[in-house]
Chain A
Amino acid sequence: MSKELLQQGDSVGLVDTPNGVRARLLPITRSVIRGLVALVSVCLVWETIRIVFQFSSVTMPSAWSIWEKFFSRNSQGEIFYIFLAKNILVTGRGAVLGLLLGAASGVAIGVLIATNRLMRRAFLPLVISAQTVPIVAIAPAIVLFFGTGTLSKTVVAGFLTFFPAAVTTARGIQSVPVDSIHLMRTYNASWWTILTTVKIPFALPLIFVGLETSAAFSVVGAIVAELPFGSKNGLGVIILSSWQFYTISPQSLYCTVIATCLLGAFIVAGIRLAARLSIGGRQHEF
């Protein structure tokens, strides 16, 4: 997409910051500060609950001991945060591939649902009832079928990410101003040209809202595919073993949960970046 959109996008951060000091901070610096503030607040709330309800350190370990856990060595002699980072990569690969698969097929089905009445009748009930499938319950079957590798994670993550993408695409396309489509018809534009020049671009801001939700679901999907049996690596595997050893070392479960959140945040940030690059200059449109 074009240069001018990027330039437009650059000014976005400044629009809502009339305050001179804030406007001068880099966006990165600002989000780091925001992250730290959030982290400190969560720790404060955590510690307050621990003290007020007098939970034992097994039920609810201290924030500091969780922090320390990241830097301890596990039974293989590996520092825990490095061990987590390796597993983030394993789970993350499945999540990202699943997100790509779910987003692509979701947008495609969304287009069909929005533009074709027959497809709407055929697909919409199917898509909606697919959402009620308890994916955790059938995960073992999926793993049996696709193995314990990346493929299973991609499939489950794809399944969960598909729905938000399909629904927002269909909604977005159905809300395109009808005159814009009439205009294209007066030029005798083809179905494909109308789709790519008018419908998808108009729907894009809404599609990205769906993709952000999908991004969060993708991590859940990849982890669910690691839970059943036989997986050697991945955040899901660590979560399983943390469950088993919770009474000995409850910290490792919380460390893994934090790692999972980081992975989710990273993928969501990727989607936001893509949104900014493609529709960053369009905040004045509506």
Chain B
Amino acid sequence: MSNEIGLEAIGVSKIFDTPTGTLLAVDDVNLKVPAGEFISVIGPSGCGKSTLLRMFADLDSPTTGSLNVANLPSSEARIQRKYAFVFQAPTLLPWKSVLKNVALPLKIMGKGKEEREKVAKEMIHLVGLEGFENRLPWQLSGGMQQRVSIARALTVRPPVLLMDEPFGALDEITRDRMNQELVNLRATQHQTVMFITHSISEAVFLSDRVVVMSARPGRIIADIEIDLPEPRTAESRLHPNFSAHVTAIRGYLVDAYNAPQK
């Protein structure tokens, strides 16, 4: 188990061609995440975090280097549906009910209606939305919509979760609650998670490890093991290591913002 790779980036760079010239978004990123680890990526906005995540998801291809997901090249991992992607916006189909939105990936995989609905209901229960199966997305709050999108991600039972600021649009109280729910969800399933965030405390609370990226071109400038007792609970935020990690990461982030821009 422990020598299995959840996520791996080897010498990954990404250059965008833009009308005003080329833009180096990600610069020689090397990263190895063992299966089952929760890793957060934090850094100034525009530093290439989403680009890195999209390359892991094979939604964008690296200019140099290669990426592996669940021991497979990222393109193969996408085809075999080894990961699920959670966007900052819930990205639900507005005309479909909660149940149908959650069941969507299974429908695309060609699963029968009965199985689809059984699994979807299970996942809706898991994120605490039972009773809302037949609502339409606009009838739910932002936090509930994001829970629907997490339930949808879980229906394919992916070994890897790629999450791009999933709670970025939520208020702080809702965000803390969603953080706890994510911890609880993972207690039974142990997915490998790459989690992008702007919130230092969110990163520390959730992660086994936090990497800090510099301002563009994005490169990894710090890689911190989070030392907090398991399981993570509300108490974790009061642990002395918690504030120590937050302070340390804040220091790295200041460096990240000050990094020379190319």
Convert B93-113 into 0s and 1s, putting 1 for each residue whose CB lies closer than 8 angstroms to a CB of A: 111010000001100110000
B139 to chain A minimum Cβ distance, whole angstroms, is 8
A86 within 8 A of B: no
Verify if B63 is at the interface (C-beta below 8 Å from A). no
The answer to whether A188 touches B78 (Cβ under 8 A) is: yes
Tell me, rounded to whole Å, the shortest Cβ–Cβ distance linking A185 to chain B.
Answer: 6
Q: In whole angstroms, what is the CA distance A188 to B93 when docked? A: 17
Interface 1/0 per residue, A157-190 and B, CB below 8 Å: 0000000000000000000010110111111110
A207 to chain B, nearest CB (A): 14
| CB–CB B94/A186 < 8 A | no
Q: Interface-forming stretch among A42-50, A135-143, A277-285?
A: A277-285
Query: Chain A at the B interface: mostly helix, strand, loop or mixed?
Result: helix
Tell me whether chain B's interface is mostly helix, strand or loop, or mixed. loop
The answer, yes or no, to whether B237 is at the interface (CB within 8 Å) is no
With A185-B78, A285-B138 as contacts: A197 and B108 at CB distance below 8 Å:
yes
C-alpha spacing A41/B95, complex, angstroms: 40
Q: Which residue of A lies closest to B84 (CB)?
A: A186
Query: Does B35 reach chain A (CB closer than 8 Å)?
Result: no
Q: Measured between C-beta atoms, what is the minimum distance from B146 to chain A in Å?
A: 13
CA A184 to CA B107, docked complex, whole Å = 11
Asked whether, in the complex, the Cβ of A187 is within 8 Å of the Cβ of B105, the reply is yes
Q: Let me know if A198 is at the binding interface, CB within 8 A.
A: yes
Q: Judging by beta carbons under 8 Å apart, are B89 and A201 in contact? A: no
A193: CB under 8 A from chain B? yes
Q: Indicate with 1 or 0, residue by residue over A253-284, a CB within 8 angstroms of chain B CB atoms.
A: 00000000000000000000000000101101
Q: Which residues of B contact A (CB under 8 A)?
A: 54, 57, 59, 78-79, 81, 83-85, 87, 89, 91, 93-95, 97, 104-105, 108-109, 134, 136, 138, 156
Can you name 20 extra interface pairs (CB under 8 A) apart from A182-B59, A186-B84? A4-B134, A179-B87, A182-B54, A182-B57, A183-B91, A185-B78, A186-B57, A187-B104, A187-B109, A187-B156, A188-B78, A188-B81, A188-B108, A189-B108, A197-B108, A279-B95, A281-B136, A284-B138, A285-B95, A285-B138
Q: Give me 15 A-to-B residue pairs in the complex whose CB atoms sit less than 8 angstroms apart, sorted by A's number.
A: A177-B89, A180-B93, A182-B54, A182-B59, A183-B85, A184-B108, A186-B57, A186-B81, A187-B81, A187-B105, A187-B108, A188-B81, A282-B94, A285-B94, A285-B138
